[in-house]
Amino acid sequence: MVDLKKLGEKLSQWSDNSTIHAISHISHSDSKLIRLIWLTFFLSAFGYFSYLIVQSTITYLKYGITTQVSYERVVSLEFPTVTFCNQKMFRYYDSVDTVAINSLLVLKNAILSAINSNTTSLKLINDFFFNIAYAFSTLELSQQRKSMFSYSIDEMLINCRFNGIMCTKNDFEYAYIPTFGNCYKFNSGKNLSGESAVKRRLSQPGRSKGLVLELFVGYDDPFWDTYRTTGAMIFVHNSSTKHLSKENGFGLAAGFAYDIAIGQVFTNKLPKPYGTCIKDVFSENSFDSFLYKQTVVALAKYEQKICLLLCLQQYITGICGCFDPTGPQSVSFPPCNQSKCIEQAYVDFVNSNSLDCFDQCPVECDSTSYDLRITQSSFPGFFYSQILMQFDKMFPWLNRNFSSLENLKKSTLALNIYYNDIGYTVINEIPSKTFEQFVGEIGGLMGLCLGASFLSFVELIELLVQLLFLIFKSNNKKVLAEKPSN
């Protein structure tokens, strides 16, 4: 049995030396009323301390974040990749495939006849562009043959300057985008032959220090034209971006010069446990999702936008048994030849399944984007048009027909892309409460409510060890006393 006298002595000795406020007053005050008052205050303070600790712990375990926005100026900035395409996917003159072009012409005339005769809806227009996408996705053509349908860089690129220095077609990387055909990337890290090239940087802002492009986009032809919009499609993006679609770019019309001031924005999100973003976008093992892995395999780099498009295609193939030819293509299913099933599948997808895609397609932790400010003015002026007309005479085989100012305004445009400042905006996510702050908060509450520190807990541990030792010693003596002698 425990010796109560010794137990009381231990507790009394501990209370004399305890650094926790009120313990000595509760234990040794001569007045019972004073003891009761101290006990009441101690229990109240301890209860309030416990409440605050619980609230602080709950807040910490929510892993909240704070968004921090800053602007940093630097000595130089890498220039973004600028991609241009012609919104006219096909050039009809000197076509390499008259059968395919004539098929498009038949389809166009059929649509016009149907609208003139018995319809009040423009849905046939959507069907027309859908049928073009379907037809092109079913053509078993090599990449080289597909490229011959579209405008070449020799035809499109009239003039190029970067940072005041002339650039040539060899400074562009070729890319094929199904919606637009031939496209060309400046400052992608590769040249026209696909070889590695040095990425260019800028150390000065302003209109005279950026990329100037003058482009030929062709003429509208009332007989051959099958397009809703004409002009150039421009993409301003990071060089690591692998996939481009019309949703990522912006169109520019002929007859204008465009000043495009850009500002770079870096966004850094926090991974688990603060969020679900992916830190290593090059690894297939960064996230356990079929669509995530499929995106990495297809692009060699994860991009959430593409993953979400694949998720939609997966839903469409599950409902229709075929894929939408206007989106990413599938090797496991044929393209759909009618849009009705796709349209209904899309409605069902938006109403029920679209949020599930975000569970399979997390956002990237680190991303780069560009803010754009675009202004325009008429192009070309009378004097410059004369220069272009004389220049074009040296390249008659390009069939650009720069014979008048009117022709130039119908078929050319210019753009000047530049940094408005050599700096960038950084959007950082930081923990609302770190572990160190959480521990410091506990220490502060202990000092405020109990007048204690972490070492005060060592005193409690010491007391517990002494009491356990006393109990063990008493029980051991009892066992020895009950043991019969020989």
Question: Stretch 23-40: mean pLDDT, rounded?
Answer: 78
Q: Give yes or no: residues 143 and 157 share one domain.
A: no
For residue 353, what pLDDT is reported? 66
Residue range 261-266: average pLDDT? 95
Domain count, the chain: 3
Question: Which of 135-139, 258-262, 461-465 has the least mean pLDDT?
Answer: 135-139
Same domain (yes/no): 107, 78: no
What number of helices (H) and strands (E) belong to the chain?
15, 14
- Which band of pLDDT confidence, cut at 50, 70 and 90, is reported for residue 20? confident
Does 351 reside within a domain? Answer: yes
pLDDT at 94 over 60: no
Average pLDDT value for residue range 149-169: 93
Claim to verify: residue 246 and residue 364 sit in the same structural domain: yes
In a domain, 273, yes or no: yes
CA distances from 280 to 56, 239, 287 (A): 32, 17, 9
| Residues 263 and 297 grouped into a single domain | yes
pLDDT of residue 415: 96
Helix (H), strand (E) at residue 159 = strand 157-162
As a whole number, mean pLDDT of residues 224-228 equals 74
User: Cα(222)–Cα(197) distance, rounded to whole angstroms?
Assistant: 42
pLDDT of residue 140: 58
Q: Classify residue 263: in a domain, yes or no.
A: yes
Residues 84 and 131 in one domain: no
Cα gap 413→396, rounded to integer Å: 20
Query: What pLDDT is attached to residue 212?
Result: 97
The model's confidence at residue 214, banded by pLDDT at 50, 70 and 90, is very high
Tell me, yes or no, whether 341 and 477 share the same domain: no
Per-residue pLDDT at 242 exceeds 90:
no
Q: Which tens digit of pLDDT belongs to each residue from 63-83?
A: 999 999 999 999 999 999 999
Burial of 58 (0-12, 13-18, 19+ CB in 10 A): exposed
Q: Token pair of 56, please?
A: 């602080």
What is the Cα–Cα distance from 155 to 153, expressed in whole angstroms?
A: 5
What residues contact 191, with CB distance under 8 A and at least 6 apart? Answer: 170, 171, 172, 173, 197
Q: ∠ at Cα 114 (111, 117), nearest 5°?
A: 150
353 with 325, same domain?
yes
366-399 tens-digit pLDDT? 999 999 999 999 999 999 999 999 999 998 888 8
Same domain, 384 and 351: yes
Is 408 a member of any domain?
yes
**24 pLDDT exceeds 80?**
no
Length of the chain: 486
Residue with tokens 């002595």: 9
Nearest alpha carbon to residue 448 among 46, 57, 54: 46
Rounded alpha-carbon distances, angstroms, from residue 460 to 15, 433, 464, 466? 10, 28, 6, 10
Beta bridge partner(s), residue 84: 184, 234
Tokens 């572990």, located at residue: 435
Question: Within a domain: residue 27?
Answer: no
Structure tokens at 88: 């006219």
Does residue 286 share a domain with residue 386?
yes
CATH number of the domain within which 186 lies: 2.60.470.10
For residue 380, say if its preceding peptide bond is cis, omega within 30 degrees of 0: yes
Task: Flag the least confident range among 224-238, 261-275, 438-452, 454-468.
Answer: 454-468
State whether 269 and 356 are in the same domain: yes
Cis amide leading into 328 (omega within 30) = no
In whole angstroms, what is the distance from residue 214 CA to residue 392 CA?
Answer: 13
Is residue 63 in some structural domain?
A: no
**What pLDDT shows up at residue 10?**
65
Q: Are residue 303 and residue 184 in the same domain, yes or no?
A: yes
Question: Residue 433: what are its φ and ψ, rounded to 5°?
Answer: -145, 115
Q: What percent of the chain has pLDDT over 70?
A: 80
Asked if 324 and 337 count as a contact pair (C-beta separation under 8 A), the reply is no
Binned at pLDDT 50, 70 and 90, residue 441 comes out as confident
Q: d(Cα 83, Cα 80) in Å, to the nearest integer?
A: 10
Average pLDDT, the chain: 84
**Long-range residue pairs from 96-103, CB within 8 A, at least 24 positions apart, any chain:** 96/145, 96/148, 96/149, 97/145, 97/148, 97/149, 100/135, 100/139, 100/149, 101/224, 103/135
Q: What residues make up the domain containing 157?
A: 71-88+152-219+231-431
Q: How far is CA 139 from CA 133, 318, 329, 334, in A?
A: 10, 24, 13, 12
Give pLDDT, residue 245: 75
**What whole-number distance in Å separates Cα of residue 124 and Cα of residue 137?**
20
Angstrom distance (rounded) from CA 218 to CA 238: 28
Percentages (nearest 5) of helix, strand, coil residues in the chain: 45, 20, 35
Given a contact cutoff of 8 angstroms between Cβ atoms, the answer to whether 79 and 262 are in contact is: no
Contacts of 403 (CB under 8 A, 6+ apart): 389
Whether 62 maps to a domain, the answer reads no
Would you give the end-to-end CA distance of the chain in angstroms? 24
Domain match, 308 and 374 both: yes
User: Quick check: is 33 in a domain?
Assistant: no
Q: 149, 89 in Cβ contact below 8 A? A: yes
